Amino acid sequence: MGRHAAALFAFFRRLGCSPAGAEDLVQTAVVRLYQTRRRYQSGRPFRPWLYGIAWRVWRDHQRRARRERRQAPPEEEPLEEVPSTAPDPFQRAQEAQEQTRVRQAVQRLPASQRLALILRHYHGLTYEELARVQGVPPGTAKWRVHQAMATVRRYLQRPQGGSRVP
């Protein structure tokens, strides 16, 4: 499980959680994985099961947050990302800004597309695995990834300063 904790943390961060929130959700997900371990069928792919649980943990958290009317928008702190090692301060600032733009683009996606893109791109799930996590046919999972990629591309191509994804 050790190697999965960091991946789960990054997963929740990319979905839009704060660092403290992501850590709490990793903890919740690990507990839930342990509680439901008997339902995991040995020999079946592990990642769809792992991220299926993580996704439900995040979804439950979102619902609870909405109910309690304390859902915060994604933070705008560029220092949350891995700091650049570029020697030039200008280049470092530019790289931090690029990371922020990508984060904004991903976090503005509809939830189903955001999940599809994150699991496909950052966690390497196949469309079949993605489909299992999302409970949709593989074709739908693939469509969501393609749509998400296109939306992110359009967002990144826009001049900076606007707020609407075309």
Partner 1 sequence: MTCPEARSILIELLYRELPAGQRPALTAHLDRCRACQGARRELEATVAALDRWTPAVPRDLHARLAAALGLRSGNCL
Residue from 32, 62, 75, 81 touching partner 1 (CB under 8 A): that is 81
- What is the x/- site pattern for partner 1, positions 47-76, by CB under 8 A? ------------------------------
Residue from 14, 47, 114, 123 touching partner 1 (CB under 8 A): that is 14
For residue 166, state whether it binds partner 1 (rule: CB under 8 A): no
- Please say which residue, 112 or 126, places its beta carbon nearer to partner 1: 126
Q: For residue 12, which of 1, 27, 22, 2 has the smallest C-alpha distance?
A: 22
- Please say which residue, 108 or 146, places its beta carbon nearer to partner 1: 146
- Token pair for 60: 């439950």
We find the least distance from the C-beta atom of residue 150 to partner 1, in angstroms, to be 8
What is d(CA 3, CA 22) in angstroms, rounded to the nearest whole number?
16
Q: For residue 26, which of 14, 12, 38 has the smallest C-alpha distance?
A: 12
What is the DSSP-derived secondary structure letter of residue 121?
A: I
Helix or strand run (H / E) with residue 89: helix 89-107
Residue from 10, 52, 158, 165 touching partner 1 (CB under 8 A): that is 10
